[in-house]
Structure 1
Amino acid sequence: MRTARKGSVEMPAFVRQLVKETEKRVSSFFKGGRGGAAEGEHPAEGEREEVIPSPYLDRPVLDKLTEEGCTHWGLTYALGSMQGWRANMEDFHNCVPQLGGELVDWSFFAVFDGHAGNTVAQYCSQHLLGNLLTTGGMGPEDDPEKVKDSIIEGFLQTDKHLQTAARREGWERGGTTVVAALISPYYIYFSNCGDSRAMLCRSGQVCFSTTDHKPYSPLEKERIESAGGSVYLQRINGSLAVSRALGDFSYKGAENRTPSEQMVSPEPEVCVVERSPADEFLVLACDGVWDTITNDELCAFIHNRLQVCTDLRDVCSQVIDLCLYKGSLDNISIIVLCFPGAPQLSAEALNQEAELEDLLESKVAEIYEELCARGEEPDLLSVLTVLASSVIPGLPPGGGIQSKRNCIISAYYQQREIHKPTEPNELGGS
């Protein structure tokens, strides 16, 4: 099931200013960089510098794509995805709760974060799973080492087929990171290629997360330099911000080197975690999420939201809004998978949530009245600034005041309606 939800939030001035400053840096140093219109290469001496279109919009696209589903063995999932401040949407995803056949008890989920266009991300979202399955390493015996080898082979085959398609179709550039979870009856197989991330929460704590593949990481940097590249501005050749990805073939031309030894490696890091009755939920998300929130914060926030939300899509939407309000300028995509041991609705938590929202509404009204009494303009940013400096008990753990921004904005506009000047009547009176 898919639905599109629209937002109508006017962004605060400080966020708009942040975008402008970030745009200047990106355009100046990275020439579009990751997710922009170009790969970040500097013009040759004497050449006229190309004008690069801004990778950011004047206002964010707040429409959300949501999706939900479940399996026969008790897993529920939801996806939330939003374009945000980026000029283009380059994220894709896979949600396959049941693989079918002898793998009917297996599930596959993945997030693809494209850069320098969305073509590669879209291609991989359509072909990666099929290539994984054709390796033949997955079956009822559920052999972890065999499955790991199959996953790696599936990624390498996808990159090989992708290169053939790129030559045939004339794709000049572009790539995608991938983070995926293959769930069997006994294990969770995490595959990561790039800087998207997966996280597993067990008994209320983060028990596993994947490692981001950045060019400046020691082992990644060593491979890049061995393949003839360099790392500066924390990027490969000052341009690409990830060290593993599918696609990006301009970084994969080193002779006498295997695909996994190129500057950009298509080989995923595969980790196997044995399933436990204490498993609560699993998160797959692009770096538009992780740029603004830590593993522990997101674990705590989702754990809390599951106790007050009846719709898992709403949990995803709240995470997206939280990241947006914390300053994420990227596309934002997240998949949340809940196991049978996930937190359930709690009457106590629902009461606390209602009390918190009542408190915030009264605080907004109090601040609005105070600003009016001082003759100051009670604009939204002023109200938010005063509220942010106040002590507010009961805020969602991991989310803070930003996680209740929509509630605050709603209360603000309610106050504006209450204080709206009386319109003159037809006789000209007040």
Structure 2
Amino acid sequence: MASFVRLLVSEAERMVSRFFKSEHAEEAPSFFLEAPRTEKLLERGAVGGLRYGLGSMQGWRAHMEDAHTIRPQLPDSLANWAFFAVYDGHAGSTVAHFCAKHLLEHVLAAEALSGQEEDPEAVKEALREAFLALDKRMQSLSQAEDWEHAGSTAVAVLVSPRRLYFVNLGDSRALLCRSATVAFYTEDHKPTKPRERERIQNAGGTVTLQRVNGSLAVSRALGDFDYKAVAWCSATEQLVSPEPEIYEVVRCPDEDEFLVLACDGVWDAFDNAGLCAFVRSRLCLSDDPRDVCECVLDACLYKGSRDNMTCIVVCFPAAPGVSQEALQKECELDTYLEKRVAEVYEELLQQEDGPNLVALFHRLATEVNPSLPPGGGLASKRAVIMAAYERVKQRHDEPQLPAPSVNTDSS
């Protein structure tokens, strides 16, 4: 149902866009492809007590506009610090890629990160100033170099030996899993939220169709300078603000398991608890966070996400490890699904329409199966089901050779 609603909204947006176009304007290019691009950018690494993985996929979108920053070890006196970020561009990728290349250098330029005694309030202010300085720098460049009218959300986590600093701007999101539960997550910046709506209206704008001036779906972002030109407002009071929200979480080394940072293409398919549970279940099957990110992207695609997808998983020493029991249960689940696909296929053969994938998945979706991955559900096992379906179909499509004749002539 959720994927159907997303498709309905996409079609409605397309129709509204056409309605407001000039009568003689050319047809706007589609935002979506005829088929998703499923090639993935995958990375992994380990430094000190941290293991990380990255997965990124274009999906159904006509262009890939996500970018990321992964620095598991910062330079010099900050060698025990790390920085991870995901940027989700819109209306182009220029801003997202510029942020991925330059935001961290603005952060590292702050005196608060000199490697001396950590002052949480000073660190948070340094992060805030870094975002504002980067946005101001980009605004000058965008005018001088005639950039596309693009913007980008950003979600980042600065990891110090004692604390986690979550930095959020827009509707990408990060969460912390501690003792098998979601201990913290960032809040999306949507125009409909009272605080955001008030700022937008004070700057002379409106919130229409849950968007800033009926167009932009986020109320805070880097770039988007068309929304930052109100003369009587400061940089942080514009229709779209570049000011991030920053949260400080004290680390618990014996309980902190992992971080997840992802763009809204992932959160379109998962809620916080669901993604936390799914990632945790996959870590019990593989000690490589890169494999987990790949599983997340596939599950998002099959659960109906139509956006670009980028996911970073950062594991701490307390993260769950590979479990033989979990591996055995997963093997048993795959075997059961393969058997059930064959059974349902035979049942569908008896019906007028015959077997097809839609009917197969619908039948399997109506069956309660507590062994399915938490959060991922049946969609996260699509590859297993598809492979089983193709094997069964191939067996039925193979021509049956006639039985050899038996010569009963006794002469």
TM-score bin, normalised by smaller chain: over 0.9
> Are 1:210 and 2:168 counterparts?
no
- Return 5+ residue gaps in structure 1 as ranges: 1-13, 32-40, 426-430
- Return the alpha-carbon distance in structure 2 between the equivalents of residues 168 and 191 of structure 1: 29
Are 1:182 and 1:190, in contact at CA under 8 Å, matched by a contact in 2? yes
- Return the alpha-carbon distance in structure 1 between the equivalents of residues 155 and 256 of structure 2: 19
Are 2:92 and 2:148, in contact at CA under 8 Å, matched by a contact in 1? no
1:376 CA drift (Å): 4.1
1:408 aligned partner: 385
- Return the alpha-carbon distance in structure 2 between the equivalents of residues 140 and 340 of structure 1: 25
Question: Taking structure 1 as reference, are residues 221 and 275 closer, same or farther at Cα in structure 2, changes over 3 Å only?
Answer: same
- Listed as ranges, the matches of 1:289-368 within 5 Å are 289-368=266-345
Are 1:179 and 1:197, in contact at CA under 8 Å, matched by a contact in 2? yes
- Listed as ranges, the matches of 1:125-140 within 5 Å are 125-138=100-113, 139-140=115-116
CA RMSD, Structure 1 to Structure 2 (Å): 1.9
Question: Taking structure 1 as reference, are residues 245 and 364 closer, same or farther at Cα in structure 2, changes over 3 Å only?
Answer: same
1:377 CA drift (Å): 2.4
1:30 CA drift (Å): 4.7
> Are 1:241 and 2:217 counterparts?
yes
Are 1:23 and 1:54, in contact at CA under 8 Å, matched by a contact in 2? no
Question: Taking structure 1 as reference, are residues 404 and 160 closer, same or farther at Cα in structure 2, changes over 3 Å only?
Answer: same
Equivalent in 6, 9, 12 of residue 25 of structure 1: 12
Q: What SS does structure 2 have at the residue aligned with 1:137?
A: helix
Are 1:19 and 1:56, in contact at CA under 8 Å, matched by a contact in 2? no
Are 1:244 and 1:265, in contact at CA under 8 Å, matched by a contact in 2? yes
TM-score of the pair, normalised by structure 2? 0.93
1:303 CA drift (Å): 1.1
2:409 aligned partner: none
Equivalent in 68, 86, 93 of residue 118 of structure 1: 93
- Return the alpha-carbon distance in structure 2 between the equivalents of residues 65 and 19 of structure 1: 25
Length, aligned pairs only: 399
* Equivalent AA in structure 2 for residue 276 of structure 1: C
- Return the alpha-carbon distance in structure 2 between the equivalents of residues 393 and 175 of structure 1: 42
Higher Cα Rg, which structure: 2
* Equivalent AA in structure 1 for residue 263 of structure 2: C
1:180 aligned partner: 156
1:194 aligned partner: 170
1:50 CA drift (Å): 4.6
Equivalent in 6, 31, 34 of residue 55 of structure 1: 31
> Are 1:152 and 2:128 counterparts?
yes
Question: Taking structure 1 as reference, are residues 279 and 125 closer, same or farther at Cα in structure 2, changes over 3 Å only?
Answer: same
Are 1:110 and 1:180, in contact at CA under 8 Å, matched by a contact in 2? yes
Are 1:107 and 1:184, in contact at CA under 8 Å, matched by a contact in 2? yes
Deviations 1:172-207 (A, max 9, x none): 411000000000000011000100001001000001
Are 2:342 and 2:389, in contact at CA under 8 Å, matched by a contact in 1? yes
1:58 CA drift (Å): 0.8
* Equivalent AA in structure 2 for residue 110 of structure 1: A
- Listed as ranges, the matches of 1:366-381 within 5 Å are 366-374=343-351, 376-381=353-358
1:80 aligned partner: 55
The more displaced of 387-396 and 223-232 is 387-396
1:51 CA drift (Å): 2.1
2:79 aligned partner: 104
Question: Taking structure 1 as reference, are residues 21 and 257 closer, same or farther at Cα in structure 2, changes over 3 Å only?
Answer: closer
* Equivalent AA in structure 1 for residue 82 of structure 2: S
* Equivalent AA in structure 2 for residue 296 of structure 1: A
- Return the alpha-carbon distance in structure 2 between the equivalents of residues 224 and 146 of structure 1: 29
* Equivalent AA in structure 2 for residue 201 of structure 1: C
Aligned sequence identity (%):
51
1:164 CA drift (Å): 1.1
